[in-house]
């Protein structure tokens, strides 16, 4: 049983209708609903201090939760940070810089830190990031709204964060100018950008039928979306927007595809829509990569005219 | 710098008006406000698995956050649980039982689990509990509302949770019948009860001028309340409602006072009020223990007719 199976099990056992999308949707007022989401980041499991800076880590802690708000078509408004700190990081510049990086991103998206907790851990650093946002009532873009015939789109580019993780693991470090492709890929891993502007356009125009953010990898995240929608999907290998420099770094199209399909943490938006609506809208950096099918749970990768079923090989902790 | 100093520093540096009470108060609709609070519990720091059961730990994880909602006079409605689990606890009965205990308490207070996160840690278990609740607009009971001349009250009894912690540390274990005073004190530590019913009465009757829950110990928590209100306080040693059996266990009134004043985690409500209003209200288990004074920041313990200044010696992590 991995964590997704476990969450499904608890959802069923305790009858938890709010659990299972990128955010929970909770009643707010007559016109809007509240979106809430929480993400835990654990040292050694989800990040390493020697690969990043406290400031960039503060950015990421907020970014991963903002990406969940984006995935429902919402606007973030407040946040809580709970942080468990080992003694050796206390009374150092670490927390100062962490909250500085957090606030740099928060200011851009007009998010206010409302509270949280500061605790101590025996060794590893642990961060739990909670964000609250709003969406017009009944208008949250859920994972469950896709229909056969919808086209599948993704924002930005794919595979950079996973390649960046591999680079960091091999001992590479990003440089602050960030101009090389390798630095860019490492920064995709360390400093993801939540796609809130695109989310806003999709929500305002009622353009997307279903949406999820790519946190675990397309193969996993598209499976979640299709399972929730009761559909299948075909994606076209040649249409995937590979991260700049990924093909060079990976050495072959096959290897680049592995990063793009199974690699997590790109924090791009993956959504389904009527292609005529998307063609008519003026969206930046959106690529059509496939279509929704009527084969529930079957995700196929089409390449050179042939299709093969894609296993959900994205990131999981257990 | 301890964690309270640090939180104050960050609040000032980044201008965070919502930070600093038991919950943040966020706009909701024309009649109500949203209360949100988060509490992190870390294995070895805040609990030990050999002292408790997964089910009781699930209860406590929710109870500590419900107590924060109570401290503002609110009603809880939804919650998030983020849990970081070491591999050795995965695929055991641990999580099943944890969520069972969590839900036993949640059902009593009509709280719905809306989401959260499941992650992995290298070793210790980490839980971050977030609860959202509601309160009538402008009616949240803040720490800052006390005035000189108000009386100070506390719910229930004091010192049991701290004595229970000491007992557990000495190797004692509670028995399920829970009838002995020692078992009761250990259960005060392990399975705190949020005082939501009293909070509701205080809020509905507009009875309390300021309130906080006792999580770190009266000496700390009363200091927080007085600092926020710009007042001081006198508390009367002989009026403190000591936990049943505490005097026997501690061996002297002095030793019992140490548990009652500096011991944390009783999760009782500490509030200030006009004593005529409280006399007129029909409140169960509320004891008048002192009064608010005009000496900002000075907390005095009155005993045998003499007063001495009380240092804030409650629990802190750093």
Whether the pLDDT of residue A277 is over 90: the answer is yes
- Chain B residues in contact with A19 (beta carbon < 8 A): 113-115
Residue B170 pLDDT: 97
CA distance B292 to chain A (A): 27
Task: Tell me the residues of chain A between 149 and 188 that have a Cβ less than 8 Å away from chain B.
Answer: none
Task: Tell me the residues of chain A between 63 and 92 that have a Cβ less than 8 Å away from chain B.
Answer: 77-78, 80, 82-85, 87, 90-91
Nearest CA in chain B to A22: B115
CB-closest option in B34, B38, B78 to A116: B38
CA distance B238 to chain A (A): 34
B316 inside 8 A of chain A by CB: no
Whole-prediction pTM value?
A: 0.96
For the stretch A42-57, pLDDT in tens is 999 999 999 999 999 9
For the stretch B144-166, pLDDT in tens is 999 999 999 999 999 999 999 99
Distances (CA, A) of B54 to A23, B60, B89, B95, B239: 27, 10, 11, 7, 36
Residue A295 pLDDT: 95
Residue A288 CA, chain-centre distance (Å), reads 18
For the stretch B34-67, pLDDT in tens is 999 999 999 999 999 999 999 999 999 999 999 9
Residue A20 pLDDT: 93
- Chain B residues in contact with A124 (beta carbon < 8 A): 121-124
For the stretch A246-264, pLDDT in tens is 999 999 999 999 999 999 9
CA distance A213 to chain B (A): 15
Average pLDDT on B309-314 reads 83
- Chain A residues in contact with B3 (beta carbon < 8 A): 118-119
Record: contact B128-A318, CB cut-off 8 A: no
Q: What is the mean pLDDT of chain B?
A: 96
CB-closest option in B3, B10, B42 to A121: B42
CB-closest option in B18, B36, B40 to A128: B40
Record: contact A115-B36, CB cut-off 8 A: yes
Whether the pLDDT of residue A178 is over 70: the answer is no
Whether the pLDDT of residue B229 is over 90: the answer is yes
Nearest CA in chain B to A120: B317
Rg (CA), chain B: 19
B130 inside 8 A of chain A by CB: yes
Distances (CA, A) of A193 to A49, A62, A81: 20, 10, 18
Residue A314 pLDDT: 77
Residue A177 pLDDT: 67
Characterize A204-240 residue by residue with b for buried, 16 or more Cβ atoms within 10 angstroms of its Cβ, and e for exposed: eeebbbbbbbbbbbbbbbbbbbbbbbebbbbbbbeeb
Residue B177 pLDDT: 67
Whether the pLDDT of residue A125 is over 70: the answer is yes
Record: contact B82-A23, CB cut-off 8 A: no
Nearest CA in chain A to B18: A114
* φ/ψ of residue B125, rounded to 5: -75, 140
Greater confidence (B108 vs B305) lies with: B108
Average pLDDT on A114-125 reads 96
Structure tokens at B272: 């200030």
Record: contact B28-A23, CB cut-off 8 A: no
Nearest CA in chain B to A89: B318
Share of chain A above pLDDT 70, in %: 99
Residue B313 pLDDT: 77
Record: contact B23-A115, CB cut-off 8 A: yes
Q: What is the mean pLDDT of chain A?
A: 96
CA distance B250 to chain A (A): 29
For the stretch A196-216, pLDDT in tens is 999 999 999 999 999 999 999
Record: contact A114-B87, CB cut-off 8 A: no
Residue A316 pLDDT: 84
Residue B178 pLDDT: 58
For the stretch B90-130, pLDDT in tens is 989 999 999 999 999 999 999 999 999 999 999 999 999 99
């Amino acid at each position: 049983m991995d964590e997704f199976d476990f969450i499904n099990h608890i959802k069923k056992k305790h009858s938890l209708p709010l659990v299972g999308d990128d955010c929970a949707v909770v009643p707010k007022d007559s016109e809007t609903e509240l979106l809430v989401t929480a993400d835990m980041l654990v040292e050694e499991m989800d990040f390493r201090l020697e690969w990043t800076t406290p400031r960039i880590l503060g950015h990421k802690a907020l970014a991963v939760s903002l990406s969940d708000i984006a995935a429902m078509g919402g606007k973030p408004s407040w946040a809580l940070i709970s942080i468990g700190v080992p003694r050796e990081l206390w009374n150092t510049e670490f927390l100062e810089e962490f909250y500085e990086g957090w606030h740099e991103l928060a200011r851009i998206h007009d998010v206010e830190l409302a509270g949280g907790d500061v605790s101590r851990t025996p060794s590893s650093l642990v961060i739990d990031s909670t964000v609250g946002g709003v969406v017009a009532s009944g208008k949250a873009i859920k994972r469950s709204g896709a229909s056969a015939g919808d086209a599948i789109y993704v924002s930005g580019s794919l595979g950079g964060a996973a390649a960046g993780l591999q680079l960091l693991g091999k001992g590479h470090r990003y440089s602050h100018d960030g101009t090389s492709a390798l630095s860019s890929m490492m920064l995709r891993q360390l400093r993801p950008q939540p796609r809130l502007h695109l989310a806003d356009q999709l929500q305002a125009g009622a353009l997307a039928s279903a949406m999820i953010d790519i946190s675990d990898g397309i193969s996993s995240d598209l499976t979640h979306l299709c399972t929730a929608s009761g559909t299948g999907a075909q994606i076209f290998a040649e249409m995937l927007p590979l991260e700049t420099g990924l093909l060079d770094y990976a050495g072959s199209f096959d290897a680049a595809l592995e990063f793009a399909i199974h690699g997590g943490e790109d924090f791009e938006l993956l959504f389904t829509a009527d292609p005529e609506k998307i063609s008519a809208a003026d969206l930046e950096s959106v690529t059509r990569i496939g279509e929704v099918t009527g084969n529930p749970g079957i995700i196929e990768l089409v390449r050179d005219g042939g299709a093969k079923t894609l296993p959900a090989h994205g990131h999981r902790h257990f």
